[in-house]
Amino acid sequence: MTRLTIRRYPDPALKTVAEAVADFGPALATLADDLYETMKAAPGVGITAPHCGIAKRLTVIELPELGGRRDYVNPEILWSSPEMITQTEGSVSMPGLTDEVTRPRAIRIRYQTLDGTVAEEDLENFAAICMQHEIDQLDGVFWIQKLSRLKRERLLKKWEKSAR
C-alpha cells in the first residue's frame, strides 16, 4: 500500500466532479487500499479519491456501525429522510477545523463494490452523515459550502491563520 498526498483546501481538485468508475480491475482495489492507508494516517473516518487529486467516484469509510472498513464505488443517494440531525464535520483536506452541519438523518444509497456488484444500503445517523459528506465531495462540493456564509467566513479566517 502507498500513502497518497491529500490535497489541502482550496486545491481545485476538491471542486472537481468525480468521474464514474468503469474499470473494476485490480487497480481499483489497489487505489482503495491506498486511500484507506492515507485516511488512517490523516487520521479520518472517510476519504474520497478526489481528496488525493484522483477524479474517480470512490470513497472509503471506516466506522464501527458499518462493521469496519467499507469501500463504495459510484455511490448515489436514492432517498433522504425529512428528519434532520446536526453533527460536527471536518475534512482530511482541512485538518484541525470542524463545525456543525445539518443533514438528513437517514438515507438510502446505491453503489458498487470493488468487483462491480450493484448494492443498496440504508444508513442512519453518523454513518448517513459521513456518506452524504463523501458523496458531496465526489460531486465537487466541499463540506464548508454546507455552512452559513457567516460560519464559513469565520472558519476560512481560522484556516488562513493556521496556514501561515
Q: What is the pLDDT of residues 27-52, one digit of tens each?
A: 999 999 999 999 999 999 999 999 99
Strand boundaries in the chain, DSSP class E: 46-48, 58-63, 68-80, 84-91, 94-104, 106-112, 118-124
**Catalytic residue status for 65:** no
Q: Give the per-residue pLDDT at 164.
A: 72
Share of the chain above pLDDT 70, in %: 100
Model confidence pLDDT, tens digit, residues 72-116:
999 999 999 999 999 999 999 999 999 999 999 999 999 999 999
Model confidence pLDDT, tens digit, residues 111-135:
999 999 999 999 999 999 999 999 9
Q: Give the per-residue pLDDT at 39.
A: 97
Backbone angles phi, psi at 80, to 5 degrees: -130, 140
* DSSP conformational letter for 115: T
Distance CA 150, CA 142 (A): 16
pLDDT at 1 over 90: no
* Domains within the chain, CATH numbers bracketed: 12-163 (3.90.45.10)
Q: Return the residue matching grid coordinates 482550496.
A: 10
**From 19, 100, 134, 160, active-site residue:** 134
CA R_g for the chain? 15
Please, which pLDDT band fits residue 163 given cuts at 50, 70 and 90?
A: confident
Q: Return the residue matching grid coordinates 471536518.
A: 90
Distance CA 130, CA 125 (A): 9
pLDDT at 23 over 90: yes
Q: How far apart are the first and last CA of the chain?
A: 32
Choice between 164 and 63, residue whose per-residue pLDDT is larger:
63
Write down the pTM of the prediction.
0.96
